[in-house]
Chains A and B, each alone.
Chain A
Amino acid sequence: MVGAVLLVGCSTKPAAVPAGVAGPSPTYVAVGASESVGSGADQPLVEAWTQVFYRTALPIGATFVNAGIPGATVADALEKELPLAIEQHPAVVTVWLNVNDLVAAVPAAEYESGLRRLVHALRQDGRATVLVANTPPLDHLPAYLAEAGSDFPPVADVLAAVDAYDAAIGRVVAEEGAVLVDLHAAGLAARADGTEAGLVSSDGFHPSTAGHARVAAAFADAYRTKP
């Protein structure tokens, strides 16, 4: 009987839990549009570039809030995303807002003004590192190419608009002490090595899973090498 009694499930009582040393625990906020919430990835929860950046570039104790809204422009971000971002008192912020503004034909000057106010607020007087992405190459996107000959602007106009936006982003980054994430250069490099097509999802517009990983890597590199 005793033997049978001993066969009842047993436990090891946990020992007194020692106090540990808390590691770094920064808060990361992503400000952006559909790309930032993972559109185009097979499993957005896992493969969105913001999630990959959070997982690979930041310590395990970091917290992440994604303020991104699909279709958002800079004006939308100022109104709807900035309050949530500031509420979190982030130490790291990523900003990728340009394609929707381009599609909405927002003039470069207006875009620059809005972006400057956004980045300035997110910097929180220098307490936060703000990484701002410029515009990746759009002229080879299947979604754009499929509309060739319609009301979409010609390639030259698209290239000029992208250049104007990227110049504005460069000025804002320099003046506000942010960090530039050069997605444009990364896109051209992918074009040169023949991998560009694989970085675009089946919708012809958003990054694919591989594209999200490449974007995350670009942000991570910029974060690690920030001055």
Chain B
Amino acid sequence: MKRRDIVVLAARSVGRRPGRAVLTVMAVALAAALFAALLTIAGTARTRVLHQLSKGGPLSGIQVAAAAPDPTQIDNDQARPGEPKDLDDAAIAAIRALPDVRSVTPVVSARILVVPPSPMTLADGRQVTVARNRRGNDDVRGGFFDTQVGIDLTHAADLPISLLAGRLPTVGVPSEVAVTPSWMARFGLARTDAAAVLGVEVELGAPRDFGDSVRARWTRAKVVGVVAQQASGGAILAADDVVHAARAWTLAGRGDRRFADSSPYSGAFVIADSLVKVSAVRNEISDIGYSTAAPENLIATVDRYLHVVEVVLAGIAAIALAIAALGVTNAMLAAVRERRREIGVLKAIGARDRDVLALILVEAGVLGLVGGVLGTLMGLGFASIVTAVVNNYLTGQGLVGVQADVQPLVMLAGVVGAGVLAVLAGAAPAVRAARLPPREAVDA
């Protein structure tokens, strides 16, 4: 028999019993849906948990402090820094030159005087003022001191920064800043109010000690975003050149270091080539003379456990697929029984055993593939619904949202796996049909 004839015959036999075909396809689809949904949800959860542990940054990220390492803290994930030590361009260059280092992003900070509007009108029309009786809120009448942190905004994706609302400042626009929940807390605002502070304009004064007075170099900025994490100990995030200018003004003053320490950079964020290289890179940075922190051990441990979860879920899905395969076997056995005469006629007119085998296998494979495609799409849809529900809950709590981690490999495995499993499930009925003697089949 020609291949085309086999396919046509298989399709006709599927159509001859539409009810049984639909039920068989649905069984396979449900199993494939379970497979796709469980693995997608598990993958999304894994990504999110690791993302949270790394505070939004790359998993192989390392925070470098402007401080010497504490010898008693070397192996700790969150090592307590030792004595302050200037972190300058030479140190950054030395770290950048280390093997297994993918990137280094310095962070600069400056002490500034913040003067918000009083009252401050939020985007939703509410008016708020600086909460009294809160430590630090009454530093200066009409304003308060805080720390402004500057980063290279072109490398923002490499940093442990994630947004609650809005966006990061635009490169080349010095009059934009992002703020943190701690800044909002000064006004008695919660994380859920993040969107409301967007558009607020504040005045920022870099102080300089002139000996007989303190004068400020004032700039104005609009709040364009709220970041979820504390910005390296500061409440306001801006472009690094803006903060450098503020520091330069302050450091030109005389007297004590009330407003700025001597270190050109307050820290740096290093990305190692991979998670397994983090420990080695941390040791090398410690040898250069700086304290580091990275949740490498915690991430590795959690990653292992999450992998176990994924394996278990895949096992559950495999059981479901096996059950569906039994359904395919049962359906094909019934089909073979009903078509003994047809099979006998085919053999009588010249069909070989392997043609009959191929006929049954193609029929099973078609049912499996159709079920696999339907089920994978259903599984994706279900995973998307679950993700949306979780996302709404998180954003309602003032946390950053989640996105479904759709893995093409899982989708492909769902479709192809269902097809292959159906073919395997149809093997026994196919062999039985192939071995039917023509005369016995015709006499049935």
Contacts and interface: CB of A to CB of B under 8 A. Distances in A.
Contact of B45 (A6, A11, A60, A61): A6
In this complex, the interface size class of chain A, counting residues with CB under 8 Å from chain B, is 35 or more
Interface residues on B, range: 35 or more
Contacts of B213: 69
A61 B174 contact: yes
Contacts of A67: 215
Interface string A38-51: 00000111100001
Contacts of B45: 2, 5-6
Interface stretch (B182-190, B270-278, B392-400, B416-424): B392-400
Contacts of A62: 219-220
A46 B309 CA distance: 57
B156 A17 contact: yes
A149 to B, nearest CB: 36
Interface string B149-160: 000011011000
A18 interface: yes
A63 B143 contact: no
Contacts of B176: 20
Interface stretch (A21-29, A151-159, A167-175): A21-29
Interface stretch (B16-24, B25-33, B92-100, B163-171): B163-171
Contacts of B216: 65-66
B401 interface: yes
Contact of A10 (B143, B161, B401): B401
A160 interface: no
A104 interface: no
A19 interface: yes
Interface in A37-85: 43-46, 51, 54-55, 60-67, 69
A23 B140 contact: no
B41 interface: yes
Given A10-B391, A22-B174, A65 B215 contact: yes
Interface in A1-18: 1-3, 5-18
Given A2-B42, A55-B203, A60-B221, A10 B172 contact: no
Given A14-B157, A17-B170, A66-B215, A23 B175 contact: yes
Given A7-B393, A22-B173, A13 B162 contact: yes
Contacts of A7: 390, 393-394
Interface in B47-74: 48-49, 51-52, 56
Given A9-B394, A11-B52, A25-B174, A45 B143 contact: yes
A17 B48 contact: no
A contact patch SS = loop
Contact of B142 (A14, A43, A60): A43
Nearest to A66: B215
Contact of B394 (A10, A19, A45): A10
Contacts of B163: 11-14
Given A12-B162, A14-B163, A65 B218 contact: yes
B402 interface: yes
Given A11-B400, A43-B142, A60-B220, A19 B172 contact: yes
B118 interface: yes
Contacts of B49: 5, 8
Contacts of A45: 113, 115, 140-143
B153 A17 contact: yes
B372 to A, nearest CB: 23
A11 B167 contact: no
Contacts of B168: 14, 17
B52 A65 contact: no
Nearest to B143: A45
A60 B390 contact: no
Contact of A9 (B42, B52, B156, B225): B52
A62 B201 CA distance: 13
Nearest to A17: B153
B13 interface: no
Nearest to A69: B213
B52 A10 contact: yes
B299 to A, nearest CB: 13
B228 interface: yes
Given A16-B156, A43-B141, A60-B201, 19 more contacts: A2-B41, A5-B45, A6-B48, A6-B386, A7-B390, A7-B394, A8-B52, A10-B52, A11-B399, A12-B400, A13-B162, A22-B174, A45-B142, A46-B118, A61-B173, A64-B217, A64-B218, A65-B217, A67-B215
Interface of B: 41-42, 44-45, 48-49, 51-52, 56, 113, 115, 118, 140-143, 153-154, 156-157, 161-163, 167-176, 201, 203, 213, 215-222, 225, 228, 306, 309, 313, 386, 390-391, 393-394, 397, 399-402
21 contacts: A1-B309, A2-B45, A3-B390, A6-B45, A6-B386, A8-B48, A9-B394, A9-B399, A10-B390, A10-B401, A12-B162, A17-B171, A19-B172, A25-B174, A25-B175, A45-B142, A45-B143, A55-B203, A60-B175, A63-B218, A64-B217
Closest 4 CB pairs of A and B: A11-B162, A11-B400, A20-B170, A20-B173
